[in-house]
Amino acid sequence: MIRQSGNTENKPPAIEVFELTDPHERELARLQREQSDRNSKWLQQHISEVYAPANRGKIVCIAGEEAFFGDTNEDVVARATAAHPNDKGYFTRYIPRQKMTWIYAT
């Protein structure tokens, strides 16, 4: 797990890395990862619906293998967690207003 500590001066933030050893916490992290993987797989299967022109410029939250669209992170996360309170593997994405081509170089 990575955690950022407070940054009171304009210095790069300190990052703390530690190993999670508590069995209960490890199980919770494993379950969250499984939920996140399911939501990610669902998004890949429904990518054309989620990134449809009508959704451009919006934020989407994927939770419980379902998409929630809105104008703010707070709004979509609130609706997603209300509908799927046990899904801790939710995530958000911004859908660009214009379709873009991404070029990756190595």
> What is the predicted pLDDT for the residue at 99?
78
Distance CA 1, CA 62 (A): 22
| Tens-place pLDDT, residues 17-61 | 988 899 999 999 999 999 999 999 999 999 999 999 999 999 999
Contacts of 106 (CB under 8 A, 6+ apart): none
- Cβ pair 69, 57 in contact under 8 A: no
| Tens-place pLDDT, residues 72-96 | 999 999 999 999 999 999 999 999 9
